[in-house]
Structure 1
Amino acid sequence: MAVGAGVVGAASISPSALAFYNSNPGLRDSAPVGGGTSSGTGKLTGRLVFPEDPGYADDRRIWNLQFNPYPLVIVFCQNADDVVNAITWSRQHDVAFRARGGRHALEGWSSIDGGVIIDVSDLQDIKLDTDAQLATVQTGLPQDAIVNALGAHNFAIPTGAEIGVGVAGVTLGGGIGQLSRSLGVTSDSLIGVDIVVPQGERGACLIHADEKNYADLLWACKGGGGGNFGIATSYTFRIHPIDDVTVYQLTWDDWGLLSQLLGTWQQTAPSAENGFGSVFNAKTETDGHIYCYGIYRGSEDKLRKIIAPLLNIGDPQADIQTLRYVDAWNLLAGTSDDPVAVHIPSSWAYDLVPDQGIATIRKFLAELPGLEGEIWCLAWGGVQKRTRPDASAFPHRQPHYYMEWSGVWETDEQQSIVYSWTERFRKALQPYLKGSYVNVPDNSLADWPTAYYGDNYPRLRKIKTKYDPHEFFQYEQSIRPL
């Protein structure tokens, strides 16, 4: 069907998508609905959503509202064949595509204007083998579903800490959270992945990568970032038994304590025993709140000794309790249900930030009046210190902690204020922080390959050249072939 004066017009789809529609009147007819039964059929299969369909407006939306793409078609894959067919169709018709899971790509790179979105969020099966301590999960599952499924049997993998965020992006970019100091990043528990990769100049195929087969690709999938080598359809994780934990939440209403609290936290949390997970979160001066919270794999008595230096500052509200790990995770978990417009740069403190740097942080948190902003720091160290930076594609093993700074807006004017603030903040922090986290990407980074991957980038480029020499998988900061 031709698109123009009918149901779909320029107000609801981009000119590039309209042009493709008008030059391909049989598009919908060539794209049968239903799961594919063979690889590379040359037809789109799965649950297809076109611009004229009722659910298109919601189905095209992503979490970060600053991005507003109008894709040509959204392919909700029902199995691996649908992924193969979508990639094959896109290659045969020279149509750009992007892979999408939980819709939380912070720079909007999981969507595309006028192209194909290959969405894997309908793939949500999970299989547990508690005797072998293995879990095989499909790529569309949110990480909270995995935490809850494993937690019902007193097992865990290290994950991030937000409800609704997809396991695909978390794993492929590394995956940092409360258990990272004791169990590593999420991808350290990854032992196998089913992934659809390009085949030849126009096709695609499904392969299984593990330590015996395509081991280089498995290495790259452990921190090399999503959307670079193929589209993963399932992951096999080594799962870890976990006992009851102690969860703590500290709150200060006296924002004037910021410098003392951050200085004390960075001296305490990264050097504590491996079972201690900790977040330091300071809001803007306008908000006035400072938080410290985390999960400790030990007793309340031992926890109180670790956090005593923080408890002795000011008059914090303290909530400490012993819970099953799954309940503790859900207690602390943030939610991603409500889309926002946000910008979140990130970096790593390889050395403790000196007093001058802490004063800089305080200065910038006082400079965003009337808008929501914060810093969010995660204690690092623990088992990470014993892991080589080249053990996987994720290189950031030696920092003391991780830091994000972010701002939220509603209007164009506020967006300009936030972007100016975050960029000036970055430049002011450069003497004290380095690198960045690929799962919190930043289009403003000049040397993003080094920031994300460090010395691992040359090896990632070789693997990219092997599996995607024509660079069919690409976006603004995708890994480049040689």
Structure 2
Amino acid sequence: MEKIKLTGRIVTPDDSEYEQARINNNLSIPKFPSKIVFCQNTEDVLNALRWVRENRTPFRMRSGRHSYENFSLVNDGLIIDVSEMDEIIINGKEITAKIEAGANLGHVYNKLWEYGMTIPAGTESSVGVIGLTLGGGIGMLTRLFGLTCDNLIEIEMVRAGGHRGAELIKANKNHNSDLFWACCGGGGGNFGIVTSLTFKLHRISKVSVFSVTWGWDDFEAAFNAWQNWAPNTDERLTSQIELKSKEANQIIAQGEFVGPSSKLKELLRPLTTIGSPTSVSVKEVPYIEAVRFFDVPSGNRPALRKKSGSFLEKPFPPKAILTMKQFLANAPNENSGIWHQSLGGAAGRIAPNETAFYYRDAIIAQEYLATWNDSVEERQNIRWIEELKRALSPYTTGDYVNFPDRYIKDWPTAYYGDNFKRLREVKMEYDSFNLFNFPQSIPPFKKWF
């Protein structure tokens, strides 16, 4: 039989574009693959998977390059990169969109806005829609429209098997429904290479956005007011609050309301009347302007960084808030922070076992952030993140699979809770030989008789 050849745009270490092609958003865990194939279509993906099987070569899949622990890279292996497959086909009659796996959120939002539509997704424009969706997907429309995966209708995936070692399959609620369930929160890279996602769309026009800022002295009062208000207010309002280091001296709450600014001002009173805000801004804008308002350029740029996270199922007591304050008063640098987003609403009306995304009872998603400029600072920044996570663990639960952390000991429970066993069964069904694996990938569930 004729040997399989790689197709698509192939980059190797000898090429001038290799350095740019190999890096991800996180520069602190460098990896040096032997080949990167930028697939242009599904046939290129099929050929790449067949090639790695024939050549017994380690490989990873990659789209948006935002894998926090660089699980989408591997040394001396092949990267199957789908980022140049970014076509979006909109069905105006069905109010759906078929989005190729390489599309990033900036491209998705801008294309859908041409039709006055959107999907609920994240805020950083360079994030790939595929990785976000497969892990769940939270953002500024979560409380109104649910997680990104809650709006998923169908996936197309290249899996191991079939003709010459790879085949394209579809999964939805009626066909390969167990795989579809697993792809709604089970994380990327576990079962195959997703090549397209089909979503139901939501019509949208104008929205209102807000920003409220306080200084360090209002730390406890501002966070406490936000945490008791944000998950319980009008479901059309999703918000976030970032607690920055004492050195940065800023607590900033922002959010998006699908409604008029006059109503938003009313809803904001529990926040704007707390402490002494240094600034309050409320404005009504076209939806695409809100997308740009929340897009933080620093999050899109590659950097030396470490992130981790957790969920809150009930508000923090004063002791937990003080713990955050103490850590931020002793942060390794000005760029350290703790970010929170409100959940509940539509995202909380789905049972924990209805999709692979387990943390439906969470009221807040929490993320710990650190970036640094010199590799000698890495150890103290990572230690700060891990000690902060440990100190808050009595008051938090689990971790969001899209905020992976290689130091989590019991990561299966942290990411998937009670859904892990079923995810292993799905893995056994679709990838029994564990071809798709990385340091925190789901292992097959082997039955012993």
User: For the Cα contact (< 8 Å) 1:126–1:137, is it kept in 2?
Assistant: yes
CA distance in 2, matches of 1:456, 1:41: 40
**Percent identity of paired positions between Structure 1 and Structure 2:** 38
Task: Please identify the structure whose Cα radius of gyration is greater.
Answer: 1
State the partner residue of 2:175.
213
| Contiguous gaps of at least 5 residues in structure 1 | 1-39
Cα deviation, residue 228, structure 1: 0.2
User: For the Cα contact (< 8 Å) 1:286–1:369, is it kept in 2?
Assistant: no
- 1:430 alignment partner, SS class: helix
Cα 1:337/1:280, change in 2 over 3 Å:
closer
Compare 75-84 and 334-343 and name the one that shifted more.
Answer: 334-343
State the partner residue of 1:450.
413
User: For the Cα contact (< 8 Å) 2:370–2:385, is it kept in 1?
Assistant: yes
User: For the Cα contact (< 8 Å) 1:175–1:186, is it kept in 2?
Assistant: yes
CA distance in 2, matches of 1:388, 1:338: 36
Counting only pairs closer than 5 Å after superposition, residues 297-308 of structure 1 correspond to structure 2 as: 297-308=258-269
Cα 1:447/1:369, change in 2 over 3 Å:
closer
Aligned mate of 1:428, from 391, 398, 410? 391
User: For the Cα contact (< 8 Å) 2:213–2:250, is it kept in 1?
Assistant: yes
Cα 1:41/1:401, change in 2 over 3 Å:
farther
State the partner residue of 1:131.
93
CA distance in 2, matches of 1:459, 1:475: 19
| 1:238 partner letter | K
State the partner residue of 2:309.
346
Deviations 1:346-373 (A, max 9, x none): 0000111001110101110111153420
CA distance in 2, matches of 1:218, 1:135: 17
Counting only pairs closer than 5 Å after superposition, residues 95-114 of structure 1 correspond to structure 2 as: 95-114=57-76
Aligned mate of 1:437, from 370, 388, 400? 400
Cα deviation, residue 200, structure 1: 6.0
| 1:393 partner letter | A
Say whether 1:168 aligns with 2:130. Answer: yes
Cα deviation, residue 41, structure 1: 6.6
CA distance in 1, matches of 2:351, 2:321: 29
Counting only pairs closer than 5 Å after superposition, residues 255-294 of structure 1 correspond to structure 2 as: 255-294=216-255
Deviations 1:403-432 (A, max 9, x none): 111111122331111111111101110110
Cα deviation, residue 230, structure 1: 0.4
| 2:117 partner letter | F
| 2:432 partner letter | P
Cα deviation, residue 202, structure 1: 7.0
- 1:102 alignment partner, SS class: coil
- 1:277 alignment partner, SS class: strand
| 1:308 partner letter | R
State the partner residue of 2:343.
380
State the partner residue of 2:202.
240
State the partner residue of 2:145.
183
Aligned mate of 2:211, from 242, 245, 249? 249
Cα deviation, residue 168, structure 1: 1.0
State the partner residue of 1:20.
none
State the partner residue of 1:33.
none
Cα 1:129/1:202, change in 2 over 3 Å:
closer
CA distance in 2, matches of 1:122, 1:385: 34
Cα 1:90/1:317, change in 2 over 3 Å:
same
User: For the Cα contact (< 8 Å) 2:332–2:384, is it kept in 1?
Assistant: no
CA distance in 1, matches of 2:163, 2:304: 38
Q: Count residues in correspondence.
A: 442
Q: TM-score, normalised by structure 2?
A: 0.96
State the partner residue of 2:4.
42
Q: TM-score, normalised by structure 1?
A: 0.90
Counting only pairs closer than 5 Å after superposition, residues 384-403 of structure 1 correspond to structure 2 as: 384-403=347-366
CA distance in 2, matches of 1:303, 1:66: 41
Superposition RMSD in Å: 1.4
CA distance in 2, matches of 1:121, 1:180: 25
| 1:311 partner letter | T
CA distance in 1, matches of 2:71, 2:375: 21
- 2:60 alignment partner, SS class: strand
CA distance in 2, matches of 1:97, 1:112: 7
CA distance in 2, matches of 1:271, 1:255: 25
Say whether 1:362 aligns with 2:325. Answer: yes
Aligned mate of 1:478, from 438, 441, 445? 441
Cα 1:370/1:217, change in 2 over 3 Å:
closer
State the partner residue of 1:35.
none
Cα deviation, residue 318, structure 1: 1.5
CA distance in 2, matches of 1:41, 1:319: 62
After superposing on structure 2, the runs of 4+ consecutive aligned residues of structure 1 that deviate more than 3 Å are: none
- 1:294 alignment partner, SS class: strand
CA distance in 2, matches of 1:346, 1:130: 38
Cα deviation, residue 300, structure 1: 1.7
CA distance in 2, matches of 1:41, 1:455: 43
Say whether 1:154 aligns with 2:116. Answer: yes
| 1:396 partner letter | Y
CA distance in 2, matches of 1:302, 1:417: 45
CA distance in 1, matches of 2:219, 2:386: 22
Between the two structures, name the one with larger relative contact order (CA 8 Å, sep ≥ 6). Answer: 2
User: For the Cα contact (< 8 Å) 1:92–1:202, is it kept in 2?
Assistant: no
CA distance in 2, matches of 1:371, 1:248: 24
